[in-house]
Structure 1
Amino acid sequence: MSRTLRLLFVALLLALFVLVSPPSFVTGVTFTSPAGDSVLVTSGGAYSIRAQSPAWTFGGNIGKSLANMAVHAGKDHIGSYQEITFTYQASAARSGAIRTYDSKPVVLFTDTYLSAGSNSNPFPRLTQYPLHLQHLSYSGTFAHYSFRTMGYDSPWLFFDTRGNSFMLSPAANFMLASTQREPDGSIASGINATIPLLPQGFTQRTFLVIGSGINATFETWGHAMTDLQGKDRPANDANIPLDFLGYWTDAGATYYYSFDPAKGYTGTLLAVRDAFHRLGIPLGYMELDSWWYPKGLSASWQGDILGDKGGIYTYTADPTLFPRGLKGFHQKLSLPLGTHARWIDPLSPYRAEYSMSRNIITDVRYWNAIAANLENEGVIIYEQDWLNDNALPATNLNDPQAFLNNMASAMATYGISIQYCMALPRHFLQSTEYNNVTTIRVSNDHFTRARWDEFLYASRLAGSLGVWPSSDVFMSTEKYNLLLATLSAGIVGVGDPIGNINKRNLLHSVRADGMIVKPDTPVVPVDDLYIQDAKGLHSPMVAATYTDHDGMKAYYVFAYRRGKQTTVTLKPTSLGITGKAYVYNFFTGRGTVVAAGSAYSDRVTDASYYIVAPIGPSGIAFLGDKGKFVSLGKKRITQLRDDGNIEATIAFARGETTLKMHGYAPSMPVIAAAQGTVRSLVYHSSTHLFSFIVSPGNDSSSAVITISP
């Protein structure tokens, strides 16, 4: 749309507002962003946002006369912006603002109480927005996804059949925020109605993000959330639990409230460590679940016989299991620890010592003492569980924030990261306020196939917000669960019994030093799947992630059957590969060249896994480490480029002396090593697949190779 047409549109819109407003004189303030998006606010209370791409209009009416209207320009953590500000009188004197960003399709609404008043008349309240769209939101424990209901503490995603999307979500006060669809169809974003009064200075913010592409819109929204809060998004190897294979003892694991009586609990876990070591796959850390501290009426590690075993009696190692305390066990284990936490039991002595809110402690003294103890005992990750109910504070203006702020601040002081478990959607949003909330559980206890869909959709929410998704525990014998956990780019934690650890499967995920070879981002459903699932088609799930080597992206695609339909269609261009690509089936060892703009189809009777690699100027598709799920992951292939010859730097773990690399070439390639050695080149003229063995150079840690046509 030309600038003249845009100005004409604004003039017509202002005229319309004048016609439908009261007889009093109405003025308007407007601006158009460099991207072509326009905002209009009238003195009668009407406001409108018109997006350029897609060409959608959003609007509403505050229902009050506005004063002090002005346009401002500025810059925040998201970027440069323009903003219209105004004041008005509702139940209290209030100010509002509508901000758009110069280079991002993001709108930020601000509503501030200039004096104390009743929690009413939320802003924004959108009466105009695109209709007849599909929608997705989250609700309840582990943020379960739904294409039917609208969770009040969740972001709301709306999308059409072409993937054009918009998202509406709170941008502040996440534990108290509420989004509602009113009986008249309008959408109101404000504060939970159980809060009757809001104090002077209280400010609520709301994001509206508009974009093309469902996953792209999620990413734009999520980065706006973390940018606004100032969160440093953690890398996928930011700490030991993210970087290395771990052993977990939570529900679904072999040693959850169970151990070998001949060894005792600590002896059993020491034997677990030794079993992994004998296999040549060292553990990076060990998680101790709720069995490690006394609970309930009995104040014992077993807890109460009935119900859920009770809450924390004291957050200390049960002396019947740990006669030398948790520190003594850590010293003997010689591995970092992760510790689980419930709520505070009604009989806990903590209730007389610290400030409480329902069944949790808000008192900063408790959190400082606990964090200091954990650090001294070798704990590097703290898991707060039962956030959905038992560990949910009272709904008021103080307690939810005090609980989570004091927890995060104390743990950060002592270098301890946090995992949220049984989280509600509001906790996912709240994680954007804390740098050390690095992981969040996205599926129920014991990871199984029945949980794959919820895992993938909740991973979309988590990943967009800069917190790494975590599946629950599974066994190393469960190949598909191990694959999905690896593709999550988050935690990989197993709970095998001694004597039944599958080394071959684990080495698909980790190096010989236990380091996880993972993608750059969490695996999530591709755009088409949102559209198909919203329609209830029960087509096979298709989810993808990638490794990006300076713009040279390879994709990893997991597909599985969910109904009668078995055909899966992959279009590399929809993933992001614009030229030719090679689609390699990991489990069958076969592949196909896909021309630019074309599609690849396959029949999935159970589950399939594909590596989709670009065919660059060399005419070769390098598939990386033949033994790894994420064959081009940066913990294995640290550098990769194709400028007519493929150049790759390959990382070796201690003890790894040979690795097998493979790829596709139209004819036998030439392999040379600038560092290290290569040998045993094999080329199959029928499939055009090649493989070779590479060994590290003198430093024993890397090789540099060239593959030429």
Structure 2
Amino acid sequence: MDITLQVIIFQAFISLSVCLNPFTITTYDNGTYSLSINDNIWLESAPTFFRDSGKLYSAKDGSLKLFYTGNEVGVDKLGNFTTKDYLYWAGSKEMFVSIRMYDDPNFVVFIQNFTDGASGTKAGSYDEVISGFPGFQIKDGVVDTGYLSFGGYMLGDTHKSIGKWGSHTKDIRDGLTGGPLILFDKDGNTLIISPLTEFMAASNWQDKESGGNVYWGVMGGVDEVPYHYTYMTIVYYAKGINKAFEGWGGALRKLYGSKKNSRAQDLTLGRAGYWTDNGAYYYYKTEPKKNYEQTMMDLVNKTVFTFNYFQFDSWWYFKGLAGGVKLWEPRPDVFPHGLGYFYNKTFSLVALHNRYWSRDTPYAKQNGGDYDFIVEDTGALPIDQKFWNDLLNKTLTWGLVMYEQDWLNVQLDKITALKTNLTLGQIWLSQMNEAAKANNVFIQYCMSNPRHALQSLTLSQVTQARVSDDYSPGGEQWRIGISSLFANALGLAPSKDTFWTTEVQPGNRYKRTEPNTRLNALVATLSTGPYGPSDMAGHLNYDLINKTCIYYGSLMQPAKPATAMDVQIIQEAFESKKMEIWSTYSVNVLNDTALNWGTVFAVDTSGDVTIDYKDMEFLTSDVAYSFYHYNDLSSFRDFKDSDKLVLPNNCTKTDFCLYQFVPKLTHGDNEVYLLGDVSKWVPASSTRIRSIVYQKEDLLINLWGSANEEITIYFVLNGQLQSSTCPIKNTGFNCVSMLTGKCVY
């Protein structure tokens, strides 16, 4: 078939798809373009630009000269596409840009290609960009629009901004610490704009001097670009903020495909651990007249609950200049017998912290070591795969299951080469990942900028990331609903950090108490990230811990992290009301049909907040639901598709609102609602309820339990609340009949 005819046919297909979809892109032969939703223009293009030979070439003043436009068809991992291509001259250099439109009309990809390469490209600061495409004008539109902009560290949580989009918007988070930009209206129509490739080299930049245009391109510190270097940006549309994150993340994960079942294999995401990082009782503190080895051994011996691993923070290794890590080895004053001794004596696995590298590290060849490093005045960076292999290989005798790479933002800040080299950041993180994979170790990112988080899409062993600042007793770092949206979209389990389970910890170094122990424990559970209490020995609240764990430390968590509902983000953007309203769900299987058990969590509600049935995306279509407040089973009532959930004005940190939504099951003339193990925060977690079996004469719950454990299961049968308590004889599967209430062994 003639290529021209192919283009015409495919363009016709795309045009038909676009007509049926609220999201459209319009391109023009002069190099401009616009994005619309429901026929209303949301974004208009800003002038494309490239830097070369110390000069800025821009379509604005005509110095970047457009000399060709065209179309192509093709296919990549995201599907079939057609393009609008523009070829420019930047002085004597050819620069190519393209807009790739797919048969899936919910997203579009913008491409930059430095056809002839470039040199002398460095911008005025590291936080600018050397190229700008796409670029959009920030101005008032016909539709009221809000925005969410991730920035800073902890996955872009620390400096994120939310507000109204328009000519007044001056605080888009950009540069080296900037992240995805999300635009939305009051109906939930949403656009997400982010890098699609070259995550460690890409930035966004708000040009405040030229009317506030915002651009995506290569980071400003790069001074030389090779021939045909290509960078891509994605714009993703969905109706619903949560749905947009889900779709955008799905597209990125489809493209890179590295995660697969990594999270399910990470023990620290499925079992309870004990943590010693900032905020913990034993953070840089031991029991009186004891070293850390003795203190940790005492914890193992004195703790009734079985923690499956221990997290050791930065107190255990050697530090050098500027506080960087010098030797990642146990200090003899901390572990006199070594980490292997602790593992062999206690059979406790470990998660080990690391930070940025000191310039005096003896691992580096510059300091007499065996490995290639970049060493600068402010720090060092390993660039040797053998270094990472050797570093993690020695941990096999230590029982390492999770490597925590902390201070990622500081490592980026300290090493100039990471800000000027196109590929160094990717190489650094990839080498770390390859060594972890070879040693069957998983990785947590801490203090990561959004670029590190996005790069993790390519890395199989990075399963989790901190999404809040360090824990502080009585603090607010449990507010992770928004940053959890970002993490979950990337396939990462969000971590809220450690917490105390008892309000008063005698002699703690912070001189504080924790009045919100239940809140922190609940959030850690709903996060699906690490669950790691950090109380003083003898002050762990086992009743609270057991609301999350079954007997031997397995976590009863939901199927996905609890994330901020659309109503929370929309109210903050348009009305400056700050509340926490999250949702999640558990999944259980009835024969071959998956059903959702939903959870809605709320704190700091202001005025009555109404959540429509349609806004609860966990509700399974064509299934009737009822719901109840978690501490009041008598509140159980029907929830029809015409109903609304009205959150009261008194959801507080000490008396939060937590609603459980339960699907209706039928067996003959019987109507059954399985509430589950209501002694737990997540009563219908698949950790406990493995399946529901429909038999001719019965409806059975297939439970998992430990030997000598008693499980009480609640259900509503034909309008009557009932329960059945089953002593578990042997660890494994056990059944309960929901029609007779009898235990089946």
Q: 2:383 aligns with which of 355, 359, 363?
A: 363
Q: Look up the match of 2:615.
A: 574
Aligned mates of 1:57, 1:474 — CA distance in 2: 43
For 1:659-682, what per-residue CA distance to the aligned partner results, in whole angstroms no more than 9, with x for missing partners? 1111334434xxxxxxxxxxxxxx
The answer to whether the 8 Å contact 2:426/2:455 transfers is no
Q: 1:133 aligns with which of 136, 145, 148?
A: 145
Q: Look up the match of 1:311.
A: 324
For 1:71-123, what per-residue CA distance to the aligned partner results, in whole angstroms no more than 9, with x for missing partners? 213141x3343334453323522233322332361211111111122544422
Aligned mates of 1:470, 1:654 — CA distance in 2: 27
Q: Look up the match of 2:310.
A: 286
| Greater alpha carbon shift after TM alignment, 199-208 vs 64-73 | 64-73
Structure 2 length normalisation: TM-score?
Answer: 0.80
Deviation at 1:655, TM superposition (A): 2.2
Is 1:102 the counterpart of 2:103 in the alignment? yes
Aligned mates of 2:134, 2:466 — CA distance in 1: 32
| Greater alpha carbon shift after TM alignment, 207-216 vs 407-416 | 407-416
Q: 2:190 aligns with which of 153, 165, 183?
A: 165
Is 1:410 the counterpart of 2:435 in the alignment? yes
Task: Mark the CA change 1:553 to 1:620 in structure 2 (over 3 Å): closer, same or farther.
Answer: same
Q: Look up the match of 2:552.
A: 513
Task: Mark the CA change 1:574 to 1:615 in structure 2 (over 3 Å): closer, same or farther.
Answer: farther
| Greater alpha carbon shift after TM alignment, 486-495 vs 172-181 | 172-181
Is 1:122 the counterpart of 2:137 in the alignment? no
Aligned mates of 2:555, 2:189 — CA distance in 1: 35
Aligned mates of 1:462, 1:529 — CA distance in 2: 18
Q: 1:44 aligns with which of 30, 47, 66?
A: 30
Is 1:71 the counterpart of 2:72 in the alignment? yes
Q: Look up the match of 1:18.
A: none
Q: Look up the match of 1:378.
A: 399
Unaligned runs of 5+ in 2: 1-7, 49-58, 60-64, 122-129, 164-170, 503-516
Q: 1:584 aligns with which of 628, 634, 637?
A: 628
Aligned mates of 2:74, 2:333 — CA distance in 1: 64
Aligned mates of 1:80, 1:52 — CA distance in 2: 24
Q: Look up the match of 1:335.
A: 348
| Secondary structure of the corresponding residue to residue 464 of structure 2 | strand
Is 1:612 the counterpart of 2:595 in the alignment? no
| Secondary structure of the corresponding residue to residue 32 of structure 1 | helix
Deviation at 1:653, TM superposition (A): 3.0
Q: 2:481 aligns with which of 449, 456, 460?
A: 456
| Secondary structure of the corresponding residue to residue 525 of structure 2 | helix
In structure 1, give the amino acid aligned to 2:146.
Q
Q: 2:725 aligns with which of 681, 688, 693?
A: 693
Q: Look up the match of 1:264.
A: 291
Runs of 4+ in structure 1 deviating by more than 6 angstroms, as ranges, are: 52-55, 641-646
Matches within 5 A, 1:499-648: 499-538=538-577, 540-549=579-588, 550-561=593-604, 565=606, 567-576=608-617, 577=619, 580-593=624-637, 594-603=639-648, 604-606=650-652, 607-617=656-666, 619-640=671-692, 647-648=699-700
Q: Look up the match of 1:20.
A: none
Unaligned runs of 5+ in 1: 1-10, 12-27, 298-307, 669-688
Deviation at 1:490, TM superposition (A): 1.4
The answer to whether the 8 Å contact 2:84/2:99 transfers is yes
For 1:244-275, what per-residue CA distance to the aligned partner results, in whole angstroms no more than 9, with x for missing partners? 00011111111111112454311221221223
For 1:423-456, what per-residue CA distance to the aligned partner results, in whole angstroms no more than 9, with x for missing partners? 1122221211211111101111115564356422
The answer to whether the 8 Å contact 2:443/2:463 transfers is yes
Task: Mark the CA change 1:350 to 1:124 in structure 2 (over 3 Å): closer, same or farther.
Answer: same
Aligned mates of 2:82, 2:696 — CA distance in 1: 45
Aligned mates of 1:645, 1:615 — CA distance in 2: 18
The answer to whether the 8 Å contact 1:46/1:59 transfers is yes
Instruction: Give the paired residue count.
Output: 646
The answer to whether the 8 Å contact 1:99/1:107 transfers is yes
Is 1:239 the counterpart of 2:266 in the alignment? yes
Aligned mates of 2:17, 2:727 — CA distance in 1: 53
Matches within 5 A, 1:188-267: 188-234=215-261, 236-267=263-294
Matches within 5 A, 1:356-505: 356=374, 358=376, 359-364=379-384, 365-390=386-411, 392=413, 393-394=415-416, 395-397=419-421, 398-446=423-471, 450-452=475-477, 454-477=479-502, 478-505=517-544
Aligned mates of 1:194, 1:50 — CA distance in 2: 33
For 1:110-164, what per-residue CA distance to the aligned partner results, in whole angstroms no more than 9, with x for missing partners? 1111112254442212349983411001111212221143111210000101111
| Greater alpha carbon shift after TM alignment, 478-487 vs 362-371 | 362-371
Aligned mates of 1:55, 1:615 — CA distance in 2: 43
Share of identical aligned residues, percent? 25
Task: Mark the CA change 1:566 to 1:511 in structure 2 (over 3 Å): closer, same or farther.
Answer: farther
RMSD: 3.0
| Secondary structure of the corresponding residue to residue 420 of structure 2 | coil
| Greater alpha carbon shift after TM alignment, 430-439 vs 643-652 | 643-652
Deviation at 1:554, TM superposition (A): 1.3
Deviation at 1:509, TM superposition (A): 0.3
